[in-house]
Structures are given as C-alpha cells and as structure tokens.
Structure 1
Amino acid sequence: MKQMKQWIGVGLIAVGISLAGCTISNNVIKVEEEKRQLELPAESIEALNIFTDSGDLIVKGDEKATVIHVEADIQSKNVKPEDIIITLEKDGNNATLRSEMNTDIGFNYVDITLTVTVPAQLPIALTDGSGDIDMTNLTGKITIEDDSGDIRLTNTNGEVEIRDQSGDILIKDASALKLIEDDSGDIFMENTGGNVEIHDQSGDMVIRNHKGDVKISDQSGDMVIDTVEGNVLIENDGGGERAVQNIKGSYTSK
C-alpha cells in the first residue's frame, strides 16, 4: 500500500525530524529518510479535515485518545525537506491536516506514509489525491473524496460516504453505510449495515451479510449479493454475471 511547514497553531506539542541516506535497488538511488511527528489537543475539536496530495494514509481511532497524533514517514530524492509540507492546525472548532509537496516537475521521488491516531468518535472528512487509505476503529462520520488508490474501512460505526475515482474499496464491520460512488475498481462489503446507495461504473461487486436496504446502479462488472436483511433494488445493471440470494426483504431488478 502507498503516500512542513512547521505547524503554526497553538496545539503543536512535538516535531521530530531525522534524516538518513540509503540506497534502493542495484541502481544506487540515494533516498533521504525523514520522520515527523505532530500533535494537537482534541479537547475542543469537533471534526478533522484531511487534505493529502499523495502517499498512503492510515487513520486509527482510539477511545482513550485526548490528542490528534500524526506520524509521517517520508522517503524522498531530489526534494528539499522544506518542500514537503505537513501541517496540523486548529481552525475554530475544527482541525485540519494537510500533506502537500511544493516541487517542480522533474526527476524527483517522494513517498509518504501518514499514520494518524484520533479520538474514535471524531468525525473525519478526507480529500485525497493518490495513495491507499486505511481507516479503522472509528465511530464518527466519515466522508472520503478520493482520486486514486485503494480504500479499506474496518470496524466503523459512524455514517460513511465515499466518492472514489479509481481503486478497490474494501469495507468490513461497518454499521452505517450511506453512499458509495465508484468510477472504477472492485467493491467488497462484508458484515455491513445502513441504507446504502451504490453507484458503480466498472469493477466487480460483492456484498455479504448486510443489514439495511441496498440500492445499486452498476454499469459493468460481476455482482454477488449474499444475505441482506433489507430490500435490494438494482436500478441498472450494464453487464456481467449476477448472483443474488438470501434477501429477507424485497428484491427488485429493473
């Protein structure tokens, strides 16, 4: 899976930076390694907004957490540390985490993994450019706008809305799904709940053990639906094989 200005706000507790050179493969590509840490007290924060250009993002909920804690693992080549900008700021009752690069087009390399630990109940709105997303143990509302990269959600109890351009979506043990819009990539849902609408352009879809109504518009790809405690409505099915069974409510296919 894949993705500073110094933080300006009041809540900065720690920033740790270390640099070390290393080589990758037999081509002796020298890569700089850097680690950064940011923290912001979460006492008066009502929501977290995350904006990332590229790189992997891991978000973990912790019921005992009293701060928003960010760890950044960075590998780069031909990029100045000051051109890799990671900030965590308080804006009114919200917090904003940004990860972006201020570099010219050329021979450069940046690989960032952000690991964010938050109070489990904190609502999160994420806008992501590219890279994989992994979110787990969250009870607040989750909103994701993603251009590319895989998305994985596990053990979430808050309302979930996903709008994704490309990449696979895997959701397990999520009780309040509302909307999934996906242009390309497979969708896999297991042990989920909520009255959910799914708009899928291409890619296969598997839904197993869902509690709630499911409304689907699908342009292409195979579809497997097995065990739904609710109604299933397929408004559009552009092509692909379909297997539907164990529907406890109504099943309608137009």
Structure 2
Amino acid sequence: MLAAQRQELILEQVRRDGGVRVTELVEAFAVSDMTIRRDLDTLEGRGELRKVHGGAVAPEGARTEEPGFEAKSTRQSGEKHAIARAVAGLIRPHSAVGLSAGTTTALVAEYLHQTPGLTVITNSVHVAEVFYRSERTDQTVALTGGFRTPSDALVGPIALASVRGLNLDALVLGVHGMHERAGFTTPNLMESETNRALVESADSLVVAADHTKWGTVGISTIAPLDRCDVLVTDEGLSPAARDTLQDRVGRLVVAEVPREDR
C-alpha cells in the first residue's frame, strides 16, 4: 500500500471516529510504529488532524469553524469545476431552482447562467451576481434578504420568510460536511435553518460536495443523507465512502476532473 493510500484511510477513520491510536494503526496496516508516526506527522502538517499522546484526533474547531468565501474558493478548484459542470447538466430549462450559498454553488451558477427560462432563488450574493451579469431577459433571479455570514450566505428571519412557501423543482445545496451519521452539515446555526427551509421547499435535492467534505461534521445538520436525490462529488472520494453513499442517497454521480485541472 502506498503511503498516500494509507494516510487517506487513517484520515477517514479520524473523520468517522474522531480519533485513532498508533497501536491500532500499526496492527491494522502491518507497518512499523515509526511509519505510522510519519503518516500522522504528514497529516498534521496539512491540518487534517491533531497529534496527541498515543495517537491523533480531529482538528479543533471543525464543527464551528467557518472559513470565508475567498479562502474556500481556492480549495479543490478543479474538483469543484467538474462537480459544477455535472450539476448544471441536471437542471432542466424553464424550471424553478434554488441555489444555496457556497463556493461550489457559485460555480454551478457560472455553468447555469445560459440555461433558458430559469427562475432562481438564492441566499448567496455571489450566485445572484453571476445571473445578474448574464443580463438574460428570460430568467428571473430572486435574492433573499438577511444577515450575511462569513461564507456570504444571507440568513435570519428575513431570509426564512423569503424562502418559506416557495415550491421549487430542485435545490442545489452546498455543504460544509457530509457524514454517515450526521448527514449534511454546516458550522453556522442560522445558515442551517435557512438551508433546511430551502430543502423543504424543493421537490428534488441535489447536493454538490467535493471529496474533502466526507467525514467532516459541522455543528448543525441540514438534512440526512437519505433525503438527497442526487449527490455530485469527485473521483477523490474513497471507495468505502462511495459504498456508503450509494446505499444512502438516491443517486451518486462522480464527476471526472480533466487532466489539465488536476
């Protein structure tokens, strides 16, 4: 087994269980204590975990930490573009579609803005700006009001009032994390409330989430995995995660990242 493969399995266990022990990893992978410690050093250096005596745990703040939009937009760029293209291909012309806030959903908007006849509801300033720039006369774009979060989502009572009572054909949802037990999550309690209202308004739920979201748990659950009709992710998702998601979501779509974008 290559070191990168072993480290991905270690990281998957940390995300699933919250921590790992060196002795257990040595036995599981049939490698030396020093090899496992080097793996943990590598993962800690990437900020993926935090070493403790005898093992490692998930990094602190993962459940409530909310990076800003610009910081997130530089992560997994190739994967997000591939996911966004695949998601856009699922949206029919002349439909009513919701787009939640997020860097991946903002890219979905870039691929959707030429789709004719859309009615778009969003709580994302970035998503709304993409459609406004297109200047199409056959599209209707409604931006909810509300307070702005670090990820540039509009939330709060005004956002909720704007969403409730709508009937959407589909919602494209961006998430902070996805987990077998916790489902689709966010680190922001108010954003979670707005996203749940968007989910309730939609006939079909399409989740756009790159592979790094698997195993991450935000403080608040938006929806369980089995509420998702289509999950679009990328090739970096581990085989074990794919098996779990194929059993839980309606349909799993794995977008291929072009070689030049990797």
What range describes the TM-score normalised by the shorter chain of this pair?
under 0.3
The structure with the greater share of residues assigned to helix is 2
In terms of Rg, which structure is larger?
Answer: 1
Relative to the length of structure 1, the TM-score reads 0.26
Larger relative contact order (CA 8 Å, sep ≥ 6): 2
The structure with the greater share of residues assigned to strand is 1
